[in-house]
């Protein structure tokens, strides 16, 4: 997960640097050079923040720790981010890119039970990555206290649950799945069960392979016709 997240950071950094203000005429004449420098510096800060949050936790990490790990001055860090909370907000926003492959999977034109099985397998493996567990818990913990983080976190969760709900609706309409009282509630519960199972495997050191088989059997049986 960490490697994918850092790739996502690299892909989005360039777009964010277009918003830099107060550029001189000389700088405007060669935007690619300045843009590259800003992108690299911003990427270093975000990469350093992710590593610090994973190693020490969000609340145990200070902006000085992030600046030191990134190899930039404290003032330089503040030129990019007003504070630690804003860094976490951007990392939370990047989670949306992490979920994109699962949204595409759920929207494929294929038989619903097969897509559901593939989703359960791939999403369980994704959330069972230790880095994913740690960073997700850090973001979720801060989301309880900060409305803007909560909004991003819930928006990401809602988009995934909606895509899964749509798949259940299609499967029911095509006669491949049994009718459900509320597919949106069912989708949310499925995601929660997958994440809970994955987190338990990481925290307890349990076998993901064995747990995933039981989880898959349970979830598929719950919607089988």
pLDDT at residue 215 greater than cutoff 90: yes
**pLDDT at residue number 17:** 45
The whole-model pTM stands at: 0.78
pLDDT tens, 127-169?
888 888 888 888 788 888 888 878 878 888 899 999 999 999 9
Q: How far apart are CA 5 and CA 46, in angstroms?
A: 10
pLDDT at residue 65 greater than cutoff 60: yes
Domains and CATH numbers, the chain: 2-81 (1.10.10.60), 88-223 (1.10.357.10)
pLDDT at residue 39 greater than cutoff 80: no
Q: How far apart are CA 183 and CA 161, in angstroms?
A: 9
Helix (H, G, I), strand (E, B) or coil at 177: strand
Matching residue, tokens 């009718």: 179
**pLDDT at residue number 14:** 45
pLDDT at residue 121 greater than cutoff 80: yes
**Which positions ≥6 away from 9 have C-beta within 8 Å?**
43, 46, 47, 50, 94
């Amino acid at each position: 997960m960490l490697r994918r997240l850092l790739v996502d950071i690299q892909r989005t950094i360039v777009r964010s640097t277009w918003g830099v203000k107060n550029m001189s005429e000389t700088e405007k004449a060669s935007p690619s050079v300045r843009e590259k420098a800003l992108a690299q510096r911003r990427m270093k800060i975000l990469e350093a923040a992710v590593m610090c949050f994973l190693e020490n936790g969000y609340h145990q990490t200070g902006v000085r720790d992030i600046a030191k790990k990134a190899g930039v001055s404290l003032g330089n860090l503040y030129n990019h981010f007003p504070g630690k909370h804003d860094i976490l907000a951007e990392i939370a926003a990047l989670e949306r890119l992490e979920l994109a492959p699962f949204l595409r999977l759920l929207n494929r034109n294929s038989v619903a039970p097969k897509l559901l099985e593939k989703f359960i397998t791939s999403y369980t493996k994704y959330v069972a990555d230790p880095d994913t567990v740690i960073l997700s818990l850090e973001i979720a913990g801060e989301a309880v206290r900060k409305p803007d983080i909560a909004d991003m976190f819930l928006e990401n969760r809602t988009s995934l649950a909606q895509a899964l709900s749509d798949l259940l609706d299609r499967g029911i309409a095509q006669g491949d799945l049994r009718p459900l009282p509320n597919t949106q509630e069912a989708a949310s519960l499925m995601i929660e069960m997958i994440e809970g199972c994955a987190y338990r495997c990481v925290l307890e050191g349990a076998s993901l392979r064995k747990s995933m088989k039981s989880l898959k059997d349970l979830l598929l049986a719950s919607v089988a016709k």
